[in-house]
């Protein structure tokens, strides 16, 4: 995980996203690259063809977003004594800034394809909030894993890992993406929640597969207590075990179904207080 992308926008949640990215970068001597994340013009305002005033206001607002994002990113790196990337050789602990990134959240998904990890702040409560649009672009368009930072900066990352195993293709893909972190973890728990799985190999079988790769893991299965959902069960167990990372495949159910009826992915996105590594 030598290359880390952090789409940057001005806001309090970005501090945790940058802190999470730094924890990851320190493990692998990675380069953290940022760029200004801002909506496309169509997302900001309905254009008035008879007036140029709206366009001027949009351009001024866009320039201010870029300035604030770059100031936040650069100040963070300078305050943590992280060096600017020197040349295009092997990555070391460093940072870089992309000046000419276009507006629009789709860029996260396309540009993210060349990075080992994309780090984002946890989405807001509204399903159509800009941060959710950004996350979906990263998950469905980049083909890369996404590390979602909690609202408050974590103190550690990937030492005590909870794998939310549901037997699915999405979870298998996420496990493969998480292997560099799993190899460095001190403790791994593979949790299966009864009634929240699809047809596929069990958590015990996944644990045996990890053991063949030299990675020790404990497999447990829990039945949700009372009316507790699978998402609630996963977060409660992660808190009980003192975990500092959840590894979970995203959207085994469709996004539309989760939006209407709820789902494990959506619950964890809305409520996790620790970093979550997701892929689809």
Q: Is the pLDDT of residue 254 over 60?
A: no
Least confident of 119-123, 213-217, 236-240, 259-263: 259-263
- Structural domains in the chain, CATH included, are 3-149 (3.40.50.620), 160-274 (3.40.50.620)
pTM for this structure?
A: 0.89
* Residue 259 pLDDT: 45
Q: Is the pLDDT of residue 243 over 90?
A: yes
Q: What's the CA gap between 71 and 97, in Å, rounded?
A: 11
pLDDT band, very low/low/confident/very high, at 255 (cuts 50, 70, 90): very low
Contact of 9 with 36, CB cutoff 8 Å: yes
pLDDT in tens, 129-172: 558 889 999 999 999 999 999 999 999 999 999 999 999 999 99
For residue 218, give the 3-state DSSP assignment.
strand
Residues contacting 136, CB < 8 A, separation 6+: 255
Q: What's the CA gap between 194 and 85, in Å, rounded?
A: 47
CA angle in degrees (0–180, nearest 5) for 2-205-214: 45
Percent of the chain whose pLDDT exceeds 70: 86
Report the chain's mean pLDDT, rounded to a whole number: 88
Phi, then psi, of 256 in degrees rounded to 5: -65, -45
Q: How far is CA 38 from CA 29, 63, 111, 119, 148, in A?
A: 28, 10, 15, 16, 18
* Residue 53 pLDDT: 46
More confident residue, 43 or 173: 173
* Residue 4 pLDDT: 98
Quick one: average pLDDT of 92-105? 93
Q: Is the pLDDT of residue 70 over 90?
A: yes
Q: Is the pLDDT of residue 248 over 90?
A: yes
CB atoms within 10 A of CB 218: 13
Quick one: average pLDDT of 197-217? 97
Q: Is the pLDDT of residue 94 over 70?
A: yes
Quick one: average pLDDT of 203-232? 95
* Residue 274 pLDDT: 97
Q: What's the CA gap between 28 and 1, in Å, rounded?
A: 6
* Residue 41 pLDDT: 57
Strands 276-279 and 31-36: unpaired
pLDDT in tens, 6-65: 999 988 889 999 999 999 999 999 999 999 998 775 554 444 555 454 544 445 567 888
Contact of 25 with 4, CB cutoff 8 Å: yes
């Amino acid at each position: 995980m030598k290359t880390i992308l952090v789409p940057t926008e001005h806001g309090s949640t970005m501090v945790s996203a940058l802190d999470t990215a730094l924890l990851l970068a320190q493990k692998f001597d990675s380069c953290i690259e940022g760029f200004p994340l801002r909506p496309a013009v169509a997302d900001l305002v309905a254009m008035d063809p008879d007036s140029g005033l709206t366009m001027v206001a949009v351009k001024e607002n866009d320039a201010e977003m870029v300035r604030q994002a770059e100031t936040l990113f650069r100040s963070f790196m300078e305050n943590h004594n992280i060096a600017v990337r020197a040349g295009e050789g092997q990555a070391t602990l460093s940072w870089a800034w992309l000046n000419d990134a276009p507006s629009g959240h789709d860029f996260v998904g396309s540009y993210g394809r060349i990075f080992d990890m994309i780090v984002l702040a946890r989405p807001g409560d509204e399903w159509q909030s800009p941060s959710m649009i950004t996350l979906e672009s990263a998950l469905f368009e980049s083909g890369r894993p996404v590390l979602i930072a909690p609202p408050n900066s974590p103190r550690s990352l990937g030492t005590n890992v909870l794998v939310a195993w549901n037997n699915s293709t999405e979870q298998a893909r996420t496990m493969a993406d998480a292997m560099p972190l799993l190899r460095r973890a001190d403790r791994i728990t593979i949790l299966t929640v009864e009634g929240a799985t699809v047809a596929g190999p069990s958590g015990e079988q996944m644990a045996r597969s990890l053991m063949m790769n030299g990675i020790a893991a404990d497999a447990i299965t829990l039945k949700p207590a009372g009316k507790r959902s699978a998402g609630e069960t996963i977060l409660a167990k992660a808190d009980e075990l003192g975990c500092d990372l959840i590894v979970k495949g995203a959207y085994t159910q469709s996004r539309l179904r989760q939006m209407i009826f709820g789902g494990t992915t959506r619950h964890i996105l809305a409520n996790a207080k620790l970093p979550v590594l997701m892929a689809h």
